[in-house]
Amino acid sequence: MLVLRGTVVTPDGVHPGWEVRIEGGRISGVGSASDRAPGRVVDFGDAWVLPGFVDLHIHGIGPHNPKSKEGIAGMAEWEVKFGTTGFLPSLSSATKEEYLRFLEDVRSVQEDPPEKGARVLGAHMEGPFVNPKMKGGMDERFLRLPDPEEYEDYLVPHLKLMTLAPELPGALELVGALVENGTVASVGHSDAGVEDMERAVRAGLSHVCHLFNAFPERREREKGVKQPSLAEICLVTDGLTAELNGDGVHVHPLMIRLAVKAMGVENTVLMTDSMEGTGLPDGVYRMTDGRLYRVRKGDVARLVDSPEVIVGSILTMERGLRNLVELCGFPIHIASRMASLNPARVLGMDGEIGSIEPGKLADIAVLDRDYRVLMTIVNGKVIYRG
Ligand SMILES: [Zn+2]
């Protein structure tokens, strides 16, 4: 048995002087530290013992991107340095062949995972069925209308999330097909109006991709009535969860507080949207679609040719957690829910991962009070020490 002592963070609070007992890959007990714990005891003092982070939206990290099997395995190995224990490799702006290869690569890494890596929980396709008007950092050449001939080939069990624009012709059928496949349908890079969203939610759309980013401005008045923006529609629509970039640049911290107030904390998710080059020195890197972008510490990833275009972030989850606490003002157990339990719930995996509770898989991140990762545990095994 492995016993971790420290300030244990559970969904309902922060517990100094507690311990987490781990046996056979699972959490077997959580509670006040006992005098005679059996097994190996690691005492972290006042450091936080948190559920490992779950990142639903990530395009690359370190020198890796998801455009090959090795790249996805490399991402899994890098993720644990930042306390992330489960993630969805995400691919945007690609051809059908590239998406099919991506899905195949995700599956083969799931079947043959690296020994010391985070769990690859499935695949996230960001596009290609999104609105060119709201392309944000995406390459327009690769955006197209939903076509069953194309998307039926994507409907594999490990496709967990697809971001799409529900106002496109054929999008509602796509949402229906995704839901039937067990895939979460997410609105993003979209110019949907009130009725588009009503129809999409009725068809089963349930998630929002990087709320507030690549979102349209408010529409013209209709019949003299001021219209809500798509972000505002998402904020008030029941049955939606939303992911937010926590790097402090993509959205102002106050907007994250707004989302939490309007949607409820249980429906908001921290993610990184990070790119290859994250965690590496400042410099120029190549996007999976070939274009060049620059990363600079404290900033975001920007196109070299048009620096006003943000193509992603260089955020890591432990920094996102810190920002939720220090910039947004959330208590750490609330920030932790947004970084672990809520994304696990989006995927329907919260019965197994996402919180420190007896019976769950032992996926754990230990952070010191400066949010530095001291230890990452996946499936009860220590796979990273800071
Ligand atoms: Zn993205």
List the structure tokens of 211.
């709320």
Which of these, 53, 105, 59, 45, lies nearest to 81 by C-alpha position? 53
- Domain 53-350 classified CATH 3.20.20.140? yes
pLDDT digit string, tens, across residues 19-39: 999 999 999 999 998 877 678
Per-residue burial over 139-165, b if 16 or more Cβ lie within 10 Å, else e, is: beebbeebeeebbeebbbebbbbbbbb
pLDDT digit string, tens, across residues 343-363: 999 999 999 999 999 999 999
pLDDT at 299: 87
| In contact, 307 and 292? CB cutoff 8 Å | no
Q: What is the 3-state secondary structure (H, E, C) of the chain?
A: CEEEEEEEEECCEEEEEEEEEEECCEEEEEEECCCCCCCEEEEEEEEEEEECEEEEEECCECCECCCCHHHHHHHHHHHHHHCEEEEEEEEECCCHHHHHHHHHHHHHHHHCCCCCCCEECCEEEECCCCCHHHCCCCCHHHCCCCCHHHHHHHCCCCEEEEEECCCCCCHHHHHHHHHHHCCEEEECCCCCCHHHHHHHHHHCCCEECCCCCCCCCCCCCECCECCCCHHHHHHHCCCCEEEEECCCCCCCHHHHHHHHHHHCHHHEEEECCECCCCCCCCEEEECCCCCEEEECCCCCEEECCCCCCEEEECCCHHHHHHHHHHCCCCCHHHHHHHHHHHHHHHCCCCCCCCCCCCCCECCEEEECCCCCEEEEEECCEEEEEC
Cα–Cα distance for residue pair 132/138, rounded to 1 Å: 8
* Ligand 1 midpoint to CA 138 (Å): 9
* Ligand 1 midpoint to CA 321 (Å): 19
* Ligand 1 midpoint to CA 59 (Å): 6
pLDDT at 115: 96
* Ligand 1 midpoint to CA 259 (Å): 19
Q: What is the dihedral of CA 125, 128, 133, 138, to 10 degrees?
A: 70
Cα–Cα distance for residue pair 347/70, rounded to 1 Å: 24
Domain boundaries, the chain: 1-52+354-386, 53-350
| In contact, 301 and 312? CB cutoff 8 Å | yes
* Ligand 1 midpoint to CA 197 (Å): 21
* Ligand 1 midpoint to CA 19 (Å): 37
DSSP bridge partners of 14: 9
| In contact, 78 and 279? CB cutoff 8 Å | yes
* Ligand 1 midpoint to CA 135 (Å): 11
The structure tokens 């990762």 sit at 373
* Ligand 1 midpoint to CA 263 (Å): 22
Cα–Cα distance for residue pair 238/242, rounded to 1 Å: 11
Q: Strand 364-367 vs strand 40-51: parallel, antiparallel, or unpaired?
A: antiparallel
Average pLDDT, the chain: 96
* Ligand 1 midpoint to CA 312 (Å): 6
* Ligand 1 midpoint to CA 234 (Å): 18
Highest CATH level, class, for 1-52+354-386 = mainly beta
| In contact, 191 and 131? CB cutoff 8 Å | yes
Cα–Cα distance for residue pair 211/326, rounded to 1 Å: 20
* Ligand 1 midpoint to CA 129 (Å): 14
Which parts of the chain have pLDDT scores under 50? none
pLDDT at 311: 86
* Ligand 1 midpoint to CA 17 (Å): 39
* Ligand 1 midpoint to CA 358 (Å): 33
